[in-house]
DNA sequence: CTGAAAGCGCTAACAC
DNA sequence: GTGTTAGCGCTTTCAG
């Protein structure tokens, strides 16, 4: 029923024109010097009948929607789910609605989604971009749409983004392992050509090079089926029983890694010290607790949304901003030197 | 640039009417007996210039959008995040896009979101309903919109839903604890008047009554700030050192519970046996592994989406369907009788 | 087979 | 101060 009431209906009911109603509803009554009394009558009727302007039509006309499109890699990944949630909250406070989608790191799907967002007249875009999406994003930006990226960025596209200092994070974590006396340190991560992964690999390698140690890098193809991650991981660890420490490149691979370690019956850190990127409950609750690189999720969300809101603001005369936040290495027993662990026991 | 091309442009370019173009684009060329040659020319041009029909305008006209609105309680909760992801996948295969939002169990926010979905001409709704939303959902259904609920349902609204057998699940889990020799069994969960929670409490109570044991129910108010869950939980456990087992009502409270248990230095299951609703990595990886009630996430997602697609289908002459799926109790060491644990060691 | 024209609900010049 | 009117881009009846 509500749905059928249009601005015309309420204009007719009051014997005025829909323009007047439109002005009043859009807060331009003053400006248009519409009598207060009329304004009241209109507002009253609107309340009474529960009239809601059809925002679809509005968007069609204005090109604005108060909706922000958020594209994460995979909403079932805790990192993205948490960020999404925080961004949604912040946006909601400011009167924006968020609609999100998972890109699955699939370029085609992302393009498709981008198109959908675009002709849904989304006002702004927050994207964790998959590969090969440069052109599409560049086109978006060129046509004046506000875009903010996070988690990773596109080196060849000049746009605002919020990322963490991936390179330093793994450098620092690796150094920590070295300082604790480990020397055969593997880095196991997902194969990816995206900035965040490349940087993490880089940081790991740098730390090892500095200490004149040999790197052992294993990149596993991502797969939604966990078995297909666990299997090569198991094989790799079995094939290299002499590793004394391992650094996992993401929370997901870290979790899989723990399963493998548990299954193989390895003692942490005696047989193998462990550090993982991202810090979640699994790591905190594991025995022993796992050292982890914590990303500042709240700060990421805050920065992303305020960057976007700034761009959404009428006077967007600013240049692009690239924000790099730092992570925290939460050291726990999984990576302490075996000596110290023995002592504290 | 793409954005500016409209159906008129392509009609003009070919010197035909936009009607013809529209027909061709909507696969009604045959029906309208448009020459194959023309069809080809149109399609070719469309490809060339990369014309995409503006779906906003299309929706305005047809009232259809091929978009499904999905409202979960909190997207950062793994249960909902996983379901959302699976539903998104299934829908995508069928040509539907999903837009999701978190209701936060906030009635007002949900109403607001519902309105947004509604005038975005969402084709169907998938909702994990918060309380006091009966009227709004009833109105939705009354106006002929397809609605499917999941995780919980509204007893007073006759609609399709997919839930799990909550009552039997906790009954079964509690019985398991009793069989393992535990007798002072607490049930700790979030305060809620929703069907899923009420059923879980009921199942727990029934099992205890059957065994003539006393129930110890503690309902904690939900809070986004984990501290405010951990604190009362800690207090409750400290106040009742004689509990020999505890059943947690959701994954979230289960995770918090583990933190508390770890912090208090309690041995599981010697000091306290543990079972939790929902089965996630944290429980599998904990030492000892935690017995958990696993919800059939894939089946829930499958059923939800196929129910909705069925309703979306033109001939929706069917009555409402209420689907209740069963859970699986994955028994692990956290709830084995202490005797057995000793033996297997 | 194809085209003219109405209209989805709203906004914003432009007139009165 | 208020009303008229022309679209936004598309679908669809109804005439040719």
Which of A6-20, A189-203, B193-207 has the lowest average pLDDT?
A: A6-20
**What is the predicted pLDDT for the residue at B92?**
85
Interface test with A, best of B276, B281, B283, B292 (most A CBs within 10 A): B281
Q: What is the mean pLDDT of chain B?
A: 91
Q: What is the rounded average pLDDT of the residues A125-143?
A: 92
Q: Pick the residue from chain A with its C-alpha nearest to B143.
A: A1
Judged by CB atoms closer than 8 Å, whether chains meet at A109 and B118 is answered as no
Asked if residue A345 has pLDDT above 80, the reply is no
Reported as a pLDDT band with limits 50, 70 and 90, residue A180 is very high
Distance from CA of B270 to the nearest CA of A (A): 17
**What is the predicted pLDDT for the residue at A36?**
87
Among partner residues B56, B74, B284, which is closest to A119 by beta-carbon distance?
Answer: B56
Q: What is the mean pLDDT of chain A?
A: 91
Among partner residues A56, A88, A255, which is closest to B102 by beta-carbon distance?
Answer: A88
Can you read off the two tokens belonging to residue A319? 């240049």
Distance from CA of A15 to the nearest CA of B (A): 26
Fold type of domain B166-295+329-344: Rossmann fold (3.40.50)
- Residue A167 near residue A155 (C-beta atoms within 8 A): no
**What is the predicted pLDDT for the residue at A304?**
97
**What is the predicted pLDDT for the residue at A301?**
96
HEC letters along chain B: CHHHCCHHHHHHHHCCCHHHHHHHHCCCCCCCCCCHHHHHHHHHHHHHHCCCCCHHHHHHHHCCCCEEEEEECCCCCHHHHHHHHHHHHHHHHCCCEEEEEECCCCHHHHHHHHHHHHHCCCCEEEECCCCCCHHHHHHHHHCCCCEEEECCCCCCCCCEEEEECHHHHHHHHHHHHHHCCCCCEEEEEECCCCHHHHHHHHHHHHHHHHCCCCCEEEEECCCCCCHHHHHHHHHHHHHCCCCCEEEECCHHHHHHHHHHHHHHCCCCCCCCEEEEECCCHHHHHCCCCCEEEECCHHHHHHHHHHHHHHHHCCCCCCCCCEEEECCEEECCHHHCCHHHHHHHC
Distance from CA of A33 to the nearest CA of B (A): 30
Q: What is the rounded average pLDDT of the residues B210-239?
A: 96
Q: Name residue A127's beta-bridge partners.
A: A71, A149
- Protein residue nearest nucleotide C2, by CA to C1': B20
CA A20, C1' C15: Å apart?
A: 15
- Interface size between A and B, measured as CB pairs under 8 A: 120
Distance from CA of A85 to the nearest CA of B (A): 6
Which of chain A's residues have a Cβ under 8 Å away from the Cβ of B276?
A: none
Angle formed at CA B96 by CA B91 and CA B102, multiple of 5 degrees: 70
Distance from CA of B211 to the nearest CA of A (A): 33
Would you tell me the crossing angle of helices A107-119 and A134-142 to the nearest 10 degrees?
20
Which of chain B's residues have a Cβ under 8 Å away from the Cβ of A286?
A: 285-287
Chain D: positions less than 7 Å from a protein CB are 1-5, 7-13
CA A331, C1' C13: Å apart?
A: 65
DSSP code of residue A318: -
- Protein residue nearest nucleotide D8, by CA to C1': A61
**What is the predicted pLDDT for the residue at B314?**
62
| Residue whose structure tokens are 């299934």 | B90
Pick A342 or B326 by higher pLDDT.
B326
Q: Pick the residue from chain A with its C-alpha nearest to B256.
A: A281
Asked if residue B343 has pLDDT above 70, the reply is no
Q: Name residue B126's beta-bridge partners.
A: B70, B148
Which of A234-248, B110-124, B156-170, B312-326 has the lowest average pLDDT?
A: B312-326
CA A30, C1' C14: Å apart?
A: 19
Cα–Cα distance, A121 to B63 (Å, whole number): 17
Cα–Cα distance, B63 to B67 (Å, whole number): 11
Which of A63, A55, A57 lies closest to B3 in space, CA to CA?
A63
Which of chain A's residues have a Cβ under 8 Å away from the Cβ of B101?
A: 88, 97-99
**What is the predicted pLDDT for the residue at B72?**
95
Confidence (pTM): 0.88
A53 touches strand C (CB under 7 A): yes
Interface test with B, best of A100, A141, A268 (most B CBs within 10 A): A100
Reported as a pLDDT band with limits 50, 70 and 90, residue A339 is low
CA A76, C1' D6: Å apart?
A: 47
CA B63, C1' C11: Å apart?
A: 20
Cα–Cα distance, B269 to B286 (Å, whole number): 12
**What is the predicted pLDDT for the residue at A62?**
86
| Residue whose structure tokens are 């084709």 | B123
Give me the architecture of the B7-53 domain, per CATH.
Answer: Orthogonal Bundle (1.10)
Q: What is the rounded average pLDDT of the residues A5-13?
A: 88
Task: Tell me the per-residue pLDDT of A206-217, one tens digit each, with 9 for 90 and over.
Answer: 999 999 999 999
Which of chain A's residues have a Cβ under 8 Å away from the Cβ of B54?
A: 119
Can you read off the two tokens belonging to residue B34? 């448009």
CA A261, C1' D3: Å apart?
A: 76
B16 touches strand C (CB under 7 A): yes
Cα–Cα distance, B33 to A277 (Å, whole number): 61
Torsion of CA A107, A108, A113, A118, to 10 degrees: 90
Which of chain A's residues have a Cβ under 8 Å away from the Cβ of B116?
A: 55, 67, 97
Query: Which residue spans of chain B are classified as CATH 3.40.50.2300?
Result: 63-162+297-323, 166-295+329-344
**What is the predicted pLDDT for the residue at B1?**
39
Judged by CB atoms closer than 8 Å, whether chains meet at B56 and A52 is answered as no
| Yes or no: domain A63-162+297-323 corresponds to CATH 3.40.50.2300 | yes
Task: Tell me the per-residue pLDDT of B32-90, one tens digit each, with 9 for 90 and over.
Answer: 888 888 888 898 989 888 888 888 888 888 888 888 999 999 999 999 999 999 999 89
- Protein residue nearest nucleotide D3, by CA to C1': A17
Reported as a pLDDT band with limits 50, 70 and 90, residue A53 is confident
**What is the predicted pLDDT for the residue at B214?**
97
Which of chain B's residues have a Cβ under 8 Å away from the Cβ of A84?
A: 75-76
Judged by CB atoms closer than 8 Å, whether chains meet at A56 and B56 is answered as yes
Percent of chain B at pLDDT > 90 equals 64
Q: What is the rounded average pLDDT of the residues A154-177?
A: 97
DSSP code of residue A3: G
Among partner residues A2, A75, A284, which is closest to B75 by beta-carbon distance?
Answer: A75
Would you tell me the crossing angle of helices B134-142 and B107-119 to the nearest 10 degrees?
20
Instruction: Tally helices (H) and strands (E) across chain A.
Output: 14, 12
Cα–Cα distance, B84 to B184 (Å, whole number): 37
Interface test with B, best of A58, A76, A93 (most B CBs within 10 A): A76
Judged by CB atoms closer than 8 Å, whether chains meet at B97 and A101 is answered as yes
Which of chain B's residues have a Cβ under 8 Å away from the Cβ of A54?
A: 119
Task: Tell me the per-residue pLDDT of B291-310, one tens digit each, with 9 for 90 and over.
Answer: 999 999 999 999 999 999 98
Under the phi-then-psi rule, with left for phi > 0, alpha for psi from -120 to 50, and beta for the rest, what region is B103? Answer: alpha
B125 touches strand C (CB under 7 A): no
Angle formed at CA B269 by CA B183 and CA B286, multiple of 5 degrees: 135
Which of chain A's residues have a Cβ under 8 Å away from the Cβ of B74?
A: 85
Pick A122 or A166 by higher pLDDT.
A166
Task: Tell me the per-residue pLDDT of A261-291, one tens digit each, with 9 for 90 and over.
Answer: 999 999 999 999 999 999 999 999 999 999 9
Judged by CB atoms closer than 8 Å, whether chains meet at B113 and A98 is answered as no
CA A90, C1' C11: Å apart?
A: 29
B339 touches strand C (CB under 7 A): no
Asked if residue B338 has pLDDT above 70, the reply is no
Query: Which residue spans of chain B are classified as CATH 1.10.260?
Result: 7-53
């Amino acid at each position: 029923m509500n749905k059928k009431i249009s601005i015309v209906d309420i204009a007719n009911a009051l014997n005025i024109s829909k323009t007047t109603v439109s002005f009043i509803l859009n807060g331009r009554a003053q400006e248009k010097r519409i009598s207060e009394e009329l304004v009241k009558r209109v507002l009253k009727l609107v309340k009474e009948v529960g009239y809601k302007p059809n925002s679809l039509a509005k968007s069609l006309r204005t090109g604005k929607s108060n909706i922000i499109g958020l594209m994460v890699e995979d909403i079932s990944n805790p990192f993205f789910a948490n960020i999404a949630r925080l961004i949604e909250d912040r946006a909601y406070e400011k009167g924006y609605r968020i609609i999100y989608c998972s890109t699955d790191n699939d370029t085609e799907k992302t393009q498709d989604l981008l198109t959908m967002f675009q002709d849904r007249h989304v006002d702004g875009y927050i994207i964790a971009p998959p590969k090969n999406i440069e052109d599409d994003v560049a086109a978006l930006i060129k046509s004046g749409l506000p875009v903010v990226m996070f988690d990773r960025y596109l080196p060849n596209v000049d746009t605002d983004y919020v990322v963490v200092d991936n390179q330093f994070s793994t450098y620092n974590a690796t150094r920590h392992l070295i300082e604790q006396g480990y020397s055969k340190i593997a880095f196991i991560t997902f194969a990816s050509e995206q900035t965040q992964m490349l940087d993490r690999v880089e940081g790991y390698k740098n730390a090892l090079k500095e200490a004149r140690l040999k790197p052992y890098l294993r990149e596993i193809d991502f797969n939604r089926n966990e078995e297909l991650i666990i299997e090569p991981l198991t094989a790799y660890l079995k094939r290299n029983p002499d590793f004394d420490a391992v650094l996992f490149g993401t929370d997901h691979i870290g979790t899989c890694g723990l399963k493998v370690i548990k299954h193989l019956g390895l003692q942490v850190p005696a047989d193998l010290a462990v550090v993982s990127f991202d810090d979640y409950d699994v790591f905190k609750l594991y025995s022993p607790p796992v050292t982890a690189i914590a990303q500042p999720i709240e700060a990421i969300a805050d920065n992303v949304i305020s960057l976007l809101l700034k761009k959404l603001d009428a006077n967007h005369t600013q240049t692009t901003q690239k924000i790099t936040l730092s992570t925290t290495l939460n050291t726990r027993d999984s990576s302490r030197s075996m000596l110290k662990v023995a002592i504290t026991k």
